[in-house]
Amino acid sequence: MEYHDSEKAKEVAGRVEEFMDEVVIPREREALATGEEITMDEIHEMWEMAKERDLFAPQVPAEYGGQGLDFSDMLPSFEQVGRSLIGALAIRANAPQEGNMHTLEMVGTEEQKEEYLRPLVQGELSSAFAMTEPKVGAGSDPKMLQSTAVKDGDEWVINGHKWWTSDGLGADFYLTMVRTDLDAHPYEGTSIILVPRDADGVDVVRNVPHLGGHGITEREGGHAEVKFDNVRVPVENTIGEEGEGFQIAQMRLGGGRLTHCMRYSGMAERSLDVAKAYLQEREAFGSKLEDKQALRHRIADAETQLHAARTMVRHAARELDRNDARIEVAMSKMFAANVTNETIDLAVQCCGGNGIGKDLPIAHFYESVREFRIVDGADEVHRRSIARWAFEDVDEVEIENTLQFDDDLRIDALDE
């Protein structure tokens, strides 16, 4: 399909595809076949190869060690890395590191960029974004944020309980969302504060057991539970302006949702490729499975839906370059999440026993993709935003006319 990506975007994505096919996917296949974990030393070797090919950290400005691609231009590359279980990690474009780099690059001070962003890009540091909280705290409704930071002189004193903090177990620092003005609405009284892992009072409790996690790398990122007990950090560790935590998080999440969409669409594409190859080889009931009309039609539907998802994400990315594109991003995220779930589920079904076996990557993909309908905003949250926009856009007079027309229909039905 021709998506009218820029020549730069297509050229880089082509080189990323070659790197995946020549280096990353063969090592992934070997790890799946032998059960041998891929070590971080091997990942570091992949980083060096990615640097040699000018593929490392495509989303980061060149001055900090990345490729400096525009947002729209980097999306096709993110789709290519999604084809492998370790693809994003292999070129330092994996979540949440990618989103945290973007946040620091957008609103970090020059000191914060030098101390944290530059080594983060190079893989010398690891980071996490601590927002979600257990039970009564922030989840799908982030206004329920319970964690707080109170000023004491030139320090913040932070107390809170977070979980589902991606990569939190091995993070060197946390971008932590906390209430800094309890008298203000959370949208106006919340800040993001950088908290070093080794600060007194930081307790990394555990990785939360969860669906997915392929287990082929030496260090699984996971999603950690973290407690902050009277943690003191300098006020200068505030990311961006005090009280603008929600605005900064929204900027972070908007682009992050679209990069997730592209990574998962790459995952779905490879799953379909595996399924089609299997259908072309496997015979049953007198003919090859690829000749069964029911399967052919389902593959056709999946290809069509994936094309629609890719097109929608690219449109949202163009809009995001010009404005906040909140609704376009919500539509893209919800649609792509469901399409990739359905596509990978179909690939598992097509491959039968081999689909649920873990010699192939699609069983791992199947476990991983289910979370996409929850992370970065559950389907229901995005539907809520889209519905609010849809109803706000309807003319009140039109509503009155429609309701009257409906009443007339009901009366006519009763008369009959």
Tell me the pLDDT of the chain (416 aa) as tens digits: 778 899 999 999 999 999 999 999 999 999 988 888 999 999 999 999 999 999 999 989 999 999 999 889 999 999 999 999 999 999 999 999 999 999 999 999 999 999 999 999 999 999 999 999 998 999 889 899 999 999 999 999 999 999 999 999 999 999 999 999 999 999 999 999 999 999 999 999 999 988 877 667 866 678 999 999 999 999 999 999 999 999 999 888 888 999 999 999 999 999 999 999 999 999 899 999 999 999 999 999 999 999 999 999 999 999 988 887 999 999 999 999 999 999 999 999 999 999 999 889 999 999 999 999 998 899 999 999 999 999 986 554 444 443 333 333 333 333 33
Please check whether residue 268 is in contact with residue 344, taking contact to mean a CB–CB distance below 8 angstroms: yes
CA distance 114 to 117: 6
**Which of 187, 219, 243 finishes a domain?**
243
Q: What residues does 155 pair with on adjacent strands?
A: 152, 234
Regarding whether 313 and 218 lie in a shared domain, the answer is no
Neighbours of 271 (CB within 10 A): 29
> Domain holding 341: CATH number?
1.20.140.10
Q: Are 336 and 261 in contact (CB under 8 A)?
A: yes
Query: Same structural domain for residues 161 and 215?
Result: yes
Cα separations in angstroms, 130 against 2, 184, 280, 386: 39, 21, 46, 26
Asked if the structure places residue 115 within a domain, the reply is: no
Quick check: 106 and 112 in contact, CB under 8 A? no
Q: Give yes or no: residues 236 and 260 share one domain.
A: no
> Is 259 in the same domain as 360?
yes
- Short-list 129, 117, 126, 122, CA closest to 91: 122
Using an 8 Å Cβ cutoff, are 104 and 117 in contact?
yes
Number of domains the chain contains: 3
Contact predicate 332/261, CB 8 Å: yes
Evaluate whether residue 409 is within a structural domain: no
Cα separation, 48 vs 55, whole angstroms = 10
User: What is the reported pLDDT for 306?
Assistant: 97
Is residue 108 one of the residues assigned to a domain? no
pLDDT of residue 166: 92
* Residues 343 and 366 reside in one and the same domain: yes
Query: Are 238 and 262 contained in the same domain?
Result: no
Q: Domain check: are 233 and 298 in the same one?
A: no
* Tokens found for residue 91: 């070129």
CB-CB contact of 302 with 228 (8 Å): no
Helix (H) or strand (E) holding 244: none
Q: What is the CATH number of the domain that holds 60?
A: 1.10.540.10
Instruction: Select from 223, 243, 263 the last residue of a domain.
Output: 243
pLDDT the model gives residue 262: 96
In a domain, 271, yes or no: yes
CA–CA gap between residue 48 and residue 67 (Å, rounded): 14
Are 238 and 267 within one domain? no
Residue 54 CA to residue 77 CA, distance in Å, equals 12
On whether residue 24 sits in a domain, the answer given is yes
pLDDT at residue 393, rounded to an integer: 60
pLDDT of residue 395: 53
Among residues 192, 219, 243, the one where a domain terminates is 243
- The tokens for 34 are 């032998």
- Do 379 and 263 lie in a common domain? yes
Domain membership of residue 103 (yes or no) is: no
The whole-number pLDDT of residue 406 equals 38
* Same-domain check for residues 135 and 64: no
Residue at 119 is within a domain: no
- What's residue 221's pLDDT? 73
Domain that holds residue 21: 7-94
pLDDT at 397: 43
> Any idea which residue has 């993709």 for tokens?
369
pLDDT of the residue at 322: 82
- For residue 381, give Cα distances in angstroms to 7, 37, 303, 377: 36, 37, 27, 6
What does the pLDDT read at residue 71? Answer: 87
| Neighbour count for residue 137 (Cβ, 10 Å) | 18
pLDDT of residue 168: 94
Q: What local confidence, expressed as pLDDT, does residue 96 receive?
A: 93
Residue 394: its pLDDT value, please?
Answer: 57
Confirm whether 414 is domain-assigned: no
Rg over alpha carbons for the chain, rounded to the nearest Å, is 23
What's residue 16's pLDDT?
97
Answer yes or no: do 88 and 145 share one domain.
no
Measured between alpha carbons, how far is 141 from 145 in angstroms, rounded to an integer? Answer: 8
What is the Cα–Cα distance from 103 to 130, expressed in whole angstroms? 13
Is 82 found in the same domain as 58? yes
